[in-house]
Amino acid sequence: MKFSWRVLVLWTLPALVIGFFFWQGAFSGTPDMSKNTATTRMTYGRFLEYLDADRVSNVDLYEGGRTAIVEAVDPELENRVQRVRVDLPSSSPELISKLKEKGVSFDAHPMRNDGAIWGLLGNLIFPILLITGLFFLFRRSSNMPGGPGQAMNFGKSKARFQMEAKTGVKFDDVAGIEEAKEELQEVVTFLKLPEKFTAVGARIPKGVLLVGPPGTGKTLLAKAIAGEAGVPFFSISGSEFVEMFVGVGASRVRDLFKKAKDNAPCIIFIDEIDAVGRQRGAGIGGGNDEREQTLNQLLTEMDGFEGNTGIIIIAATNRPDVLDAALLRPGRFDRQVTVDAPDVKGRLEVLKVHARNKKLDSGVSLEVIARRTPGFTGADLANLLNEAAILTARRRKEAITNLEIDNAVDRVVAGMEGTPLVDSKSKRLIAYHEIGHAIAGTLLKDHDPVQKVTLIPRGQAQGLTWFTPNEEQGLITRGQLKARITGALGGRAAEDVIFGSAEVTTGAGGDLQQVSGMARQMVTRFGMSDLGPISLESQQGEVFLGRDWMTRSEYSEAIASRVDAQVRVIVEECYQTARRFILENRIVMDRLVDLLIEKETIDGEEFRQIVAEYTSVPEKPQYMPSI
């Protein structure tokens, strides 16, 4: 049976309390009363009379001579000997002489010392119980985050330490970011074979900053480094340095680097370093002084007067723009490794990694999935295959098919599938809206091809039109931007042409926000308007990222008016183009709407075939990756 302190305390405390009252009441300062028993009392004067009359045969003195038990012959009881109690005066020195004179046998019984002991214990028992209770209270609270038991550990580092980090992740388990892997593989080689680099005068980099959007594999890379390096590994989050108490963060930084120096060479991984490494002096009236002092200590430890030989700091963030310039300089973070979303080849490699433990149907092609998921990060692709596996198990299939892949892509991008609409005027209006998007996108040469059109609600959308880029687009032309604006306005144009301006709905709200943003960027950022090749967009940071707390316009009100006019010109031109597509293709639109209401989903290939029967569809560049 497992020993339990709680059970011991629950049983011991009542026993101690009972014993405390027992000791206090029964034994506190009392003599030995084993012989001090008498049924009656006798006055001191009568006792002297009996003594003078030789009626006393034995006297026992107790309590230091204050009490006596007397054996005397009582004439009133037929001269029988009885034991009586006599209270003696405090000062009666002649009594002993008189007892000796009369030849009376007497004895003095000393007071027991147990009373002082029990009294002392009785006075100590309550403080002992109080201290014991507080001890167990603090011991229990020490296991709670921020409990009283951790009061002395505020300044200690919360970094997880592993002498040999067994993360279960190697570089072979990381795919799609080969350039980043190569950079970090050098760090691992530096730790294992430093003489290979020092022989030619190279020095080990002090810090590596992993920069990239969420889900691209920055933390996974850190786990792979830990699994490959074979050196002590410290891992901590940036938010774990800063507390509400001043000086705690700096103390934790010192403690972390002290432990790291004791175990050098080693690796320190700081996840989300922007939580502690933001620019100093940011915000209105200055920044958080505690966070800034923590950053100052981190800067000193990374490359200060003493240095940190043998320690490599690896940090990850998706906000490099907010980091302090002193943190990013060479000597602290010598390398900045960008971890972007993978291209089509990278996505294929990522899918191969995550498909190792998945049962895929023979008709499923990972290459096709990679081509139709541009912009997906490694985390998105892992979630995609996991959602497909969940759908397969829910439908009681033995392997993942293309149907589950399609549904998983839709779920990851747009959200959970809703209840299909019933056949009504609202459903027909939504069908015309989605077909308007698809018609404009299909007839525009520079627009991405239609993948499918559906009336099945997902998330907040009642219907969706999917467009899939044919290639990885790093640069976007003016024609492509205008084509995207026209395609986004196709839904509103269809509502206007088919049902009239009075029946236009709020369904195009999100489209109009997207259109306004793209058109304004064309004018103010990309120089794609009559204002000429100039950038009017302010490059200042946000209020709480530092510098000025008030945003200032970089151009006059006259230029602002011209910007608004150019935005309206671009949007109006694209809107009229979309209306023209709707008016010229009314017949095919009606056929497609009827088919969409009947089937609820039309794939892109079938859609283009039907449109090609009525009008010419421009050929769009097909991107076939070389695998």
Distance in angstroms (rounded) separating the CA atoms of residues 224 and 378 = 15
Highest-pLDDT range among 165-179, 213-227, 300-314, 504-518: 504-518
Quick check: 462 and 619 in contact, CB under 8 A?
A: no
Strands 233-237 and 160-162, how do they pair? antiparallel
Q: Please check the confidence at residue 487 and state whether its pLDDT lies above 90.
A: yes
The pair of three-digit structure tokens given for residue 280, joined into one six-digit string: 């100093």
- Max Cα–Cα distance, the chain, nearest Å: 151
- Partners of 209 in beta bridges: 315, 336
Query: Who's near 50: CB < 8 A, 6+ residues apart?
Result: 42, 56, 70, 72, 73
Distance in angstroms (rounded) separating the CA atoms of residues 167 and 184 = 16
Q: Residue range 296-302: average pLDDT? A: 85
The predicted pLDDT at position 583 comes to 92
Q: Residue range 548-564: average pLDDT? A: 74
Distance in angstroms (rounded) separating the CA atoms of residues 133 and 550 = 57
Helices of type H across 355-424: 366-371, 378-394, 402-414
Q: Please check the confidence at residue 284 and state whether its pLDDT lies above 80.
A: no
Quick check: 540 and 546 in contact, CB under 8 A?
A: no
Q: Please check the confidence at residue 393 and state whether its pLDDT lies above 90.
A: yes
User: Domain boundaries in the chain?
Assistant: 5-28+115-153, 40-111, 160-338, 344-414, 425-539+553-612
The predicted pLDDT at position 34 comes to 47
Quick check: 122 and 23 in contact, CB under 8 A?
A: yes
Helix axis angle, 557-584 relative to 425-443, nearest 10°? Answer: 100
Strands 464-467 and 450-454, how do they pair? antiparallel
The predicted pLDDT at position 540 comes to 47
312 sits in which H/E element = strand 311-317
Q: Residue range 305-325: average pLDDT? A: 81
Higher-confidence residue of 519 and 320: namely 519
The predicted pLDDT at position 151 comes to 46
- pLDDT band per the 50, 70, 90 thresholds, residue 269: confident
Quick check: 596 and 455 in contact, CB under 8 A?
A: yes
Q: Residue range 134-141: average pLDDT? A: 67
Pick the closest to residue 423 from 603, 600, 607 (CA basis): 600
- pLDDT band per the 50, 70, 90 thresholds, residue 140: low
- pLDDT band per the 50, 70, 90 thresholds, residue 581: very high
State what percent of residues in the chain have pLDDT above 90: 20
Q: What is the pLDDT of residues 530-553, one digit of tens each?
A: 888 888 876 544 444 444 444 556
Strands 266-271 and 450-454, how do they pair? unpaired
Report the CATH fold assignment for 344-414: Helicase, Ruva Protein; domain 3 (1.10.8)
Q: Please check the confidence at residue 27 and state whether its pLDDT lies above 60.
A: no
Distance in angstroms (rounded) separating the CA atoms of residues 345 and 175 = 10
Q: Residue range 233-242: average pLDDT? A: 79
Strands 266-271 and 311-317, how do they pair? parallel
The predicted pLDDT at position 552 comes to 55
The predicted pLDDT at position 145 comes to 46
Higher-confidence residue of 392 and 284: namely 392
Distance in angstroms (rounded) separating the CA atoms of residues 177 and 159 = 27
- What CATH superfamily classification does 160-338 receive? P-loop containing nucleotide triphosphate hydrolases (3.40.50.300)
Q: Would you say domain 40-111 falls under CATH 3.40.190.10?
A: no
Distance in angstroms (rounded) separating the CA atoms of residues 488 and 470 = 18
Could you say which DSSP state residue 25 is in? I
Q: Residue range 570-578: average pLDDT? A: 95
327: phi then psi, degrees, rounded to nearest 5? -80, -25
Q: What is the pLDDT of residues 490-531, one digit of tens each?
A: 999 999 999 998 989 888 888 999 999 999 999 998 989 888
pTM: 0.66
- Number of residues that this document lists for the chain: 627
- pLDDT band per the 50, 70, 90 thresholds, residue 51: confident
Query: Who's near 227: CB < 8 A, 6+ residues apart?
Result: 165, 166, 167, 168, 169, 170
Q: What is the dihedral of CA 123, 128, 133, 134, to 10 degrees?
A: 110
Catalytic residues: 434
Cβ burial 261-289 (10 Å sphere, 16+ → b, else e): beeebbbbbbbbbbbbbbbbebeeeebee
- Partners of 162 in beta bridges: 233
The pair of three-digit structure tokens given for residue 342, joined into one six-digit string: 């993978």
State the distance between the two ends of the chain, measured CA to CA, in whole angstroms: 63
Q: Please check the confidence at residue 485 and state whether its pLDDT lies above 80.
A: yes
Distance in angstroms (rounded) separating the CA atoms of residues 471 and 465 = 19
Q: Is 314 exposed, middle or buried (0-12, 13-18, 19+ CB in 10 A)?
A: buried
Distance in angstroms (rounded) separating the CA atoms of residues 371 and 374 = 7
Q: What is the mean pLDDT of the chain?
A: 79
Quick check: 416 and 459 in contact, CB under 8 A?
A: yes
User: What is the amino acid identity at position 96?
Assistant: I
* Minimum mean pLDDT range among 59-68, 204-213, 545-554, 617-626: 545-554
Q: Residue range 198-225: average pLDDT? A: 85
Report the CATH fold assignment for 425-539+553-612: Methane Monooxygenase Hydroxylase; Chain G, domain 1 (1.20.58)
Pick the closest to residue 295 from 311, 266, 265, 315 (CA basis): 315
The predicted pLDDT at position 392 comes to 94
The predicted pLDDT at position 30 comes to 44
Higher-confidence residue of 127 and 614: namely 614
